Amino acid sequence: MRAVLLCAGRGRRFEGALGNRPKVLIEVAPGLTLLERHLAIFDRVLDGVTLVVGYEQQQIREAAPGADFAHNPRFTEGSMISLLAAAEVLERETCIVMDADVLYGEGMYRRLCESPHDDAVLFDAAFLDDEMRIGLIDGRVRHLSKKLVNSDYEAVGRGPGFYKVSPAWGARLVETMRAMDAEGLGHVEYEDAMNRTFEAVEVRPVPTAGDPWTEIDHNQDLRRAREEIWPRLR
């Protein structure tokens, strides 16, 4: 099982506070970057990692000399193009597809990796905000969107953006993403492509079970990661 870590973007919501550093190289604790935290967990849990890189890619390559890389030269477009850059890996082996800008607990990550479901997503039923939501019907993931109407689903929650993707789902995703790109939809997010596959692919939720986690989209998130989440994880 392999991690596919999407770290090609520029972190524009930090409003220049990162300088020319990719977001995955910010420190979440003194002397510990987000990338180092990811790689330490991968080394204990998975067989390998593919980093999808774009913006300032050389900095990431130097910080992860043992990793495999997929290059997204279109990193200014949507995250779907970043995931499409890892097409060969997605079609070949089971992957944990994940956003790189998340600080999380190893326990919930292991639960996703060890889930008996071929295809699954981490799901936090206790947390809702204005970011990407997960809608469930009949115990299956049916839709991902920031604009879900809660009453349309049996359950709605949030997740860190971590997906267990079998080669069967991976092949369908690659086919879907290529078709969407040909339609001129290279600007959309990978969740839009996933939504087109949920009728055909049975994707199940894996609960975060109360483990702390946070996305790091802007400076306020970074403060929360350092001051609230990291002390609980440490």
**Model confidence over 155-198: pLDDT tens digits?**
999 999 999 999 999 999 999 999 999 999 999 999 999 999 99
* Nearest CA-CA partner of 16 in 225, 219, 224, 233: 219
Q: What angle do CA 71, 72, 74 make, to 5 degrees?
A: 155
Half-sphere exposure of 40 (CA within 13 A, CB side): 10
Output the pLDDT for position 186: 96
Q: In the block, which residue shows the tokens 């993403």?
A: 177
**Model confidence over 5-34: pLDDT tens digits?**
999 987 776 666 677 889 999 999 999 999
- Rounded to whole angstroms, the Cα distance separating 5 from 65 reads 15
Q: What is the dihedral of CA 97, 191, 186, 4, to 10 degrees?
A: 0
Order across the sheet with 155-158: list the strands: 140-145, 133-137, 155-158
Return the CATH superfamily for domain 2-119+161-188+212-233: Spore Coat Polysaccharide Biosynthesis Protein SpsA; Chain A (3.90.550.10)
Average pLDDT over residues 50-55: 97
Output the pLDDT for position 126: 87
Secondary element (H or E) of residue 5: strand 2-6
Secondary element (H or E) of residue 99: strand 95-99
Domain limits, the chain: 2-119+161-188+212-233
- Rounded to whole angstroms, the Cα distance separating 189 from 107 reads 27
Per DSSP, the three-state class of 156 is strand
**Model confidence over 83-138: pLDDT tens digits?**
999 999 999 999 999 999 999 999 999 999 999 999 999 999 988 777 899 999 99
